[in-house]
Amino acid sequence: MRRSKRFRPVFTVALTPIIALVTLVAALSGACTWAGFKMSEAALDDYAHAVAAGTAGEGQKRIGLFTVASPERRRVGVVPVP
């Protein structure tokens, strides 16, 4: 008995919407940004120390998975609120 080329197991058909749902939930929950930050945290920390010490160069840079456009040194304890 030969199977048709159009035959798909139920598991394969059901897997597509499950993957789409997991991707949507990950994107909307901020999990992707959190994971990217965790992967880049050490590089961002090193760059922040370089900016605070005045040894970081000017201009846009790629730090880990993020792009830093214009870093600024601030007084200790002062955090700008957008």
Per-residue pLDDT of the chain (82 residues; tens, 9 = 90+): 555 566 667 777 788 889 999 999 988 999 989 999 999 999 998 988 888 888 888 888 899 999 988 887 777 655 555 5
Place of tokens 């394969």: 12
CA distances to 4, 50, 60, 79 from 53, in Å: 68, 5, 18, 17
The identity of residue 58, as a single letter, is E
Q: Is 29 left (phi over 0), alpha (psi -120 to 50) or beta?
A: alpha
Model pLDDT, residue 81: 52
- For 46, the 3-state DSSP assignment is helix
Predicted confidence at residue 1, as pLDDT, reads 53
pLDDT at position 70 = 81
